[in-house]
Amino acid sequence: MTAALLVGGLIVLLLAGVPVGFALGMAGFLALVLGGFSPLMAPQAISSTMDSFILLAVPLFLLMSNVLLHGGAGRDLFAAVQSWVGHWPGGVAVATILSCGLFSAISGSSVATAATIGTVAIPEMLQRGYPRPFVFGLLAAGGTLGILIPPSIPMILFAFVAEESVTNLFLAGIGPGILLIILFSVFSAAYTRLSPHFTVAPRAAPAERRAATRRALPSLALAVFIFWGIYRGVFTPTEAAAAGLAFSLLITVFWLKTMTWKKFRRAAVDSMVTSAAVLAIVAGAKIFGRAMTLHRIPQDLSAFIVGNLSSEPGLFVALVCLSLLVMGLFLEALSMMLIMAPVLLPALASLGIDPIWFGVFFVLMTECALITPPIGLNLYVIQSVAGARMSEVARGVWPFLAAILLLAAALYWLPAIALYVPFGG
């Protein structure tokens, strides 16, 4: 009964248009007061949340991605990749997916990836006759790679909630991220081969290819630098974010020479606004989670699962998938993670589910929330970048949503996709 009232109150607040962070905080605070607990637990929860070294990585990675976005690094990445594969049948579409993957490995943000690559790829693809819904769906789905391929901001938050290693989560995201790039690319190549409407890009001259690759090399080096530093233990993910920010400034100021004070100020403001929104959701979710714990909702759910599903982890995973797909229709990815993860995590040990595997699986399923109407953030990003109708963008994402669900099924049947770490790590 308490759980129903708590969740029902949250849904009412969300439907009333209250911002997610404030809705979570208000519902949690009311649950504390009505349950006879001290209201001082709310500010204590916020204080303990903000006093986190791990969460420092969030604004730093966001600022790094915005510096690269406003400095034009995404444009150079796309030009370099297109110079190598653009002349293939469907090559521009494949180049778009590969560019999304590469920029994801730098930024850790789905919105930044969709906006950056979409700005340069959408005009190129439309000019070559690719159908508008396919183009918009491709870019919206390609942006979701930003939360799966490390460094991933949602993985940082999951590690914070689950008290797991950020580094291990990053490493576990590599295999699924590469496989999703392959699935998207295979579908795009097959689709364009069956479509008679597009024209193939001309093969880039060797000199043009060398120049484009040379210009993109520092951005690629940044991705390698971050991954190498985290993997080898040279620095923590938070320190990697700070080092990456410094590296991104060197690239855009001295190599590309595209960063101006005006652009940097805009990047800083954009990062500040996004960071404030993310941390507000984290703080609200912490209050909500504290209330749920004090009302013993996670404990009761865990006991129910142990008593009824202890021999059926597949059913548990299926129920998680269904719940996240439904929640994704009206909640964005971070909110889903911060609401659901604290409830589900206590049940993992009894079901024999690896928490690192579950973190990757959870992030993969929240990707669906980024491209499912009516709340999917990437849909709005591409609609804004392309000046398109929402119906066009939403119509184009369904094949890519099916690819994400196919990967989720493969991840369940073959957990080594996530748990096998390359290079013997």
Q: What is the mean pLDDT of residues 310-338?
A: 80
Q: What percent of the chain has pLDDT over 70?
A: 93
pLDDT tier at 127, thresholds 50, 70, 90:
confident
Are 108 and 152 within 8 A, CB to CB?
yes
Return the residue matching tokens 């748990």: 419
Q: What is the mean pLDDT of residues 142-165?
A: 87
Q: What is the mean pLDDT of residues 86-107?
A: 87
Q: Which pLDDT does position 42 carry in this prediction?
A: 83
- Contacts of 180 by beta carbon, 8 Å cutoff, 6+ apart: 145, 148, 364, 403, 404, 407
Does 297 have pLDDT greater than 50?
yes
Q: What is the mean pLDDT of residues 68-94?
A: 87
Does 171 have pLDDT greater than 80?
yes
Instruction: Write out pLDDT tens, residues 75-84.
Output: 888 999 988 9
Nearest to 333 by CA among 292, 291, 375: 375
Does 101 have pLDDT greater than 80?
yes
Enter the pTM of the model. 0.84
- Contacts of 35 by beta carbon, 8 Å cutoff, 6+ apart: 2, 291, 294, 295
Question: How far is residue 401's CA from residue 118's CA, in Å, rounded to a whole number?
Answer: 18
Instruction: Write out pLDDT tens, residues 45-58.
Output: 777 767 777 788 88
Q: Which amino acid is at 214?
A: R
Altogether, the residues listed in the chain come to a count of 425
Q: For the CA atoms of the chain, what is the radius of gyration?
A: 21
Question: How far is residue 310's CA from residue 301's CA, in Å, rounded to a whole number?
Answer: 12
Question: How far is residue 353's CA from residue 37's CA, in Å, rounded to a whole number?
Answer: 33
Does 73 have pLDDT greater than 80?
yes
Are 141 and 40 within 8 A, CB to CB?
no
Does 108 have pLDDT greater than 80?
no
Return the residue matching tokens 């190599």: 255
Q: Give backbone dihedrals phi and psi of 305, rounded to 5 degrees, phi first.
A: -65, -45
β strands within 95-225, DSSP E: none
Q: Which pLDDT does position 275 carry in this prediction?
A: 86
pLDDT tier at 172, thresholds 50, 70, 90:
very high
- Say which residue, 228 or 108, is predicted with more confidence: 228
Nearest to 134 by CA among 401, 396, 400: 396
Calculate helix-pair angle for 333-344, 313-327, nearest 10 degrees.
150
Q: Which pLDDT does position 381 carry in this prediction?
A: 87
Q: Which pLDDT does position 183 carry in this prediction?
A: 95
Does 361 have pLDDT greater than 90?
yes
Does 425 have pLDDT greater than 60?
no
- Contacts of 132 by beta carbon, 8 Å cutoff, 6+ apart: 126, 388, 392, 396
pLDDT tier at 213, thresholds 50, 70, 90:
very high
Q: What is the mean pLDDT of the chain?
A: 85
Q: Which pLDDT does position 192 carry in this prediction?
A: 83
| Structure tokens belonging to residue 371 | 């491209």
Does 178 have pLDDT greater than 50?
yes
Does 1 have pLDDT greater than 60?
no
Instruction: Write out pLDDT tens, residues 220-268.
Output: 899 889 888 887 888 888 888 899 999 999 999 999 899 999 999 999 9
